[in-house]
Amino acid sequence: MSDPLREEWTGPFGLPDFEAVRDGDFLPAFEDAMRQSRAAIDRIAANPAPPDFANTIAALERAERPLERVSAIFFNLAAADANEERQAIQREIGPRLTAFRYETMLNAPLFARIDALKADPSGLDAEQRRVLTLYHDMFRRAGAMLEGEDRTRLSQIMQRLTSLGTAFTQNLLADERDWSMALAAEDLEGLPGWLTDAMAGAAAERGEAGHVVTLSRSLIVPFLQLSPRRDLRERAFRAWAARGARGGKTDNRDIMAEMLKLREERAHLLGFDSFADFKLEREMAGNPQAVRDLLMAVWEPARARAEADAARLTELMRADSINGALQPWDWRYYAEKLRRAEHDLDEAEIKPYLQLDNIRDAAFETAGRLFDLSFHPVDVPLYHPDCRAWEVRRDGRHLGIFIADMFARRSKRSGAWCSSFRGQDRLDGIRTPIAVNVCNFARPAEGSPALLTLDDARTLFHEFGHALHVLLSDVTYPMISGTSVARDFVELPSQLYEHWLMTPEILSQYARHAETGAPMPPSLRDRVIAAENFDQGFATVEYVASALVDLDFHSGPAPEDPMAAQDATLARIGMPEAIAMRHAAPHFAHVFAGDGYSAGYYSYMWSEVMDADAFEAFRETGDVFDRDTAQRLLRHIYSAGGSREASDLYLAFRGRMPGVEALLKGRGLVPEAA
């Protein structure tokens, strides 16, 4: 039997042998990998030969491959299929990996070699110069220029932040896993069959009879949209909003406060005024004020639209003889009523046409028409029975493997994401990527097809856009492969890809009724497309409020009480009372589960400025699958990875940078003629 944690993967298509993975092997494998990688790094640092790209940068690209191999398997499984043993390993290994990373970054002889190369990059090609610049920035921003106690303190901070981020994530998973609301037969009145089937499936997955609502987004959001029982909507919403803030051992509020203080200290050690200044230095935005300007330019028209919509929803609530104020647990329910009235649409009518398998095939078809890709199912052992895999080809040539893990389960953290078991590079011959999309769609009843909401369908296309960024990467060095780009650029390929879902060309072919197989009637399809921007005031407000809270958390002194700071931000911007933040701080995993989106949640909107404009490039041709435009998109965005600055890549594709007007128009927040 092979050892996928210590040996090169020899399974079909270079996949790891998941059946050979044993939880008890992870810690010894991590220790072996760190020992091998440390020895390789020490050899680079002590090399008596003058530094050049091959013996320093390319050597560093190879040095951590043993560690990358075991990390890829462990952290994918820890996120998508957690158990107590894996969580314990994560708590132990996380700080040790951080210490290892900072031991490398603070290696003075090693940085001296990189610094010497940066001072004289003659003879390097453009891709090598880019990789060298990124390595130099990575070491500098990790504290390579610090001395004495500051170096030691920074390493301590980073280890502690890793432990806190792990605790935040595991607390959130526990809150989501442990809460459910049982429904009696009379509580199901007014709910469509597909939703009651999903709730029965959720109960069965928990070993219970009957029906339950859980905190899976694909279950609780339809319940809030469709349940006529205001008392049950309130109970469910309050539980959803309280994740991470229920008191007891899973409460995240003290964790947040400590993380914010440590991030501020980290930024000051590195010479920055605030953590936001530090994080944004290498992003497209560049500085906190540019981010704030964008968010506020969107906030004002979005809030105005939301306030107008709130008045209309209140009228509908009054018609139901409810005289109190419109509340967050009312909004989705009455918005659904308003959508029926305005567009003759409701979720129960649409959802039977959105079968998971069909929408996935629609994503494949879009990739085929844009980028000449084909997807071929493969029968290989994977890490969980829910997973399925496809070989990805172009012109008959193997390009990579795509894995889909679509259904919610108690062992999986919430949300949806794209990761990889292996990235693409050509450093030592061609390494083809293995990309994975993980979602939390409601599991169907046994024998029934899996049905998606429109929000679910968009999520599938979004994450698949990320997967294409991984699969289509065409670079030499791992440092710039795939999604290794600026944080506020990484969402462009994913958000742009969502646009094709709502085109007549795709809906006409793939939106088919789950029982009859009949295509979605053109009249319904056209109403779905016409309603695409319905309730965008709400959607934009709940998102921008979260982004502004994140920015405020990190733009000045760390708040003593993050919850009070959150409330102060919401009061300052005039948050509508009937709308809650999309992610309240105690369950704001983007910001507190790790470092990725901290001071960076704005990036979805920064990327949306570009994705609205980028899709317009296709519309301008009269063909949303225009081949020349698609080839430019492939060459400069999906295949380029981080080989150039993000703004240069976008300019190469579009010829200019867009303004916020394209975003406002795309969200329907300005009149069409504006």
For the chain, list the domains and their CATH numbers: 12-105+107-141 (1.20.1050.40), 179-242 (no CATH), 280-351+534-666 (1.10.1370.10)
Cα-Cα-Cα-Cα dihedral sign, residues 287, 293, 298, 302: positive
For range 79-98, the mean pLDDT:
96
671 has pLDDT over 80: no
- Residues β-bridged to residue 355: 451
Question: What band does 663 get if pLDDT is binned at 50, 70 and 90?
Answer: confident
Cα–Cα separations (whole angstroms), residue 501 to 377, 385, 481? 22, 28, 26
3-class SS shares of the chain: helix, strand, coil, % to 5: 60, 10, 30
**pLDDT for 83 beyond 90:** yes
- For residue 451, report the phi and psi dihedrals to the nearest 5 degrees: -110, 145
What torsion, rounded to 10 degrees, do the Cα atoms 10, 12, 15, 18 define?
-90
H/E stretch holding 656 reads none
Q: Mind listing the pLDDT tens digit for each residue in 255-286?
A: 999 999 999 999 999 999 999 999 999 999 99
| Element counts in the chain: helices (H) and strands (E) | 27, 7
* 100 closest CA partner among 164, 34, 151, 161: 34
Handedness of CA 562, 563, 564, 565 (dihedral sign): positive
Cα atoms found within 13 Å of the Cα of residue 279, Cβ hemisphere only: 25
Q: Residues with Cβ < 8 Å from 428, sequence gap 6 or more?
A: 62
CB 509 within 8 A of CB 364: no
Cβ atoms of residues 168 and 255 within 8 Å:
yes
- The tokens for 330 are 């009312």
Q: What is the mean pLDDT of residues 151-171?
A: 96
Which residues, listed in sequence order, are joined to residue 390 by a DSSP beta bridge? 377, 402
C-beta separation of 312 from 207 below 8 A: no
The long-range contacts involving 182-186, CB below 8 angstroms and separated by at least 24 positions, are 182/208, 182/210, 182/211, 182/212, 183/210, 183/211, 183/212, 183/213, 183/232, 184/210
- 265, 189 Cβ separation under 8 angstroms: no
The 3-class secondary structure across 202-228, one letter per residue, is HHHHCCCCCEEECCCHHHHHHHHHHCC
The tens digit of pLDDT for each residue in 332-391 reads 999 999 999 999 988 888 999 999 999 999 999 999 999 999 999 999 999 999 999 999
Q: How high is the pLDDT of residue 1? A: 60
Q: Residue 668: which pLDDT band, with cuts at 50, 70 and 90?
A: confident
* CB 434 within 8 Å of CB 419: no
The string over 331-361, giving b where at least 16 C-beta atoms fall within 10 Å of a residue's C-beta and e elsewhere, is bbbbbbbbbeeeeebbbbebbbbbbbebbbe
Per-residue pLDDT at 255: 98
Counting residues of the chain whose pLDDT is more than 70, the rounded percentage is 99
Q: Residue 550 corresponds to which amino acid? A: D
Q: Are 52 and 117 in contact (CB under 8 A)?
A: yes
Instruction: Identify the band that residue 674 occupies on the pLDDT scale cut at 50, 70 and 90.
Output: very low
Q: How far apart are CA 106 and CA 101, in angstroms?
A: 9
Encoded tokens for 140 = 């500098």
- Complete DSSP assignment for 105-144: HT-HHHHHHHHHHHH--TT--HHHHHHHHHHHHHHHHTTT
Residue with tokens 């320093």: 56
Eight-class DSSP state of 392? E
For tokens 């289509």, the residue is: 472
Each residue of 422-434: pLDDT tens digit?
A: 999 999 999 999 9
Name the helix (H) or strand (E) containing 418.
strand 417-422
Burial class of residue 109, CB neighbours in 10 A (0-12, 13-18, 19+):
exposed
Q: Exposed, middle or buried: residue 446 (CB in 10 Å: 0-12, 13-18, 19+)?
A: exposed
User: Tens of pLDDT along 32-54?
Assistant: 999 999 999 999 999 999 999 99
Q: Strand locations in 223-295, DSSP E? A: none
Query: What pLDDT, on the 0 to 100 scale, is given for residue 673?
Result: 44
For this structure, is 147 an active site residue? Answer: no
How far is it, in rounded angstroms, from Cα 633 to Cα 638?
7
The amino acid that residue 532 corresponds to is E
Span 542-576, pLDDT tens digits? 999 999 999 999 999 999 999 999 999 999 999 99
Active-site residue identified among 176, 463, 498, 608: 463
- Tokens 């398998």 — which residue? 357
Q: Which amino acid is at 130?
A: R
Amino acid at 594: G
Residue 665 predicted with pLDDT over 90: no
Residue with tokens 């001296």: 112
pLDDT, one tens digit per residue, over 99-137 is 999 999 999 999 999 999 999 999 999 999 999 999 999
Alpha carbons 356 and 353: distance in angstroms, whole number: 10
Give the separation between CA 217 and CA 509, rounded to whole angstroms. Answer: 27
Report the candidate in 401, 526, 419 with the shortest Cα–Cα distance to residue 463. Answer: 419
If you ran DSSP here, which 8-state letter would residue 58 be given? I
Mean pLDDT of the chain: 95
Separation between Cα atoms, residue 305 and residue 326, nearest integer Å: 16
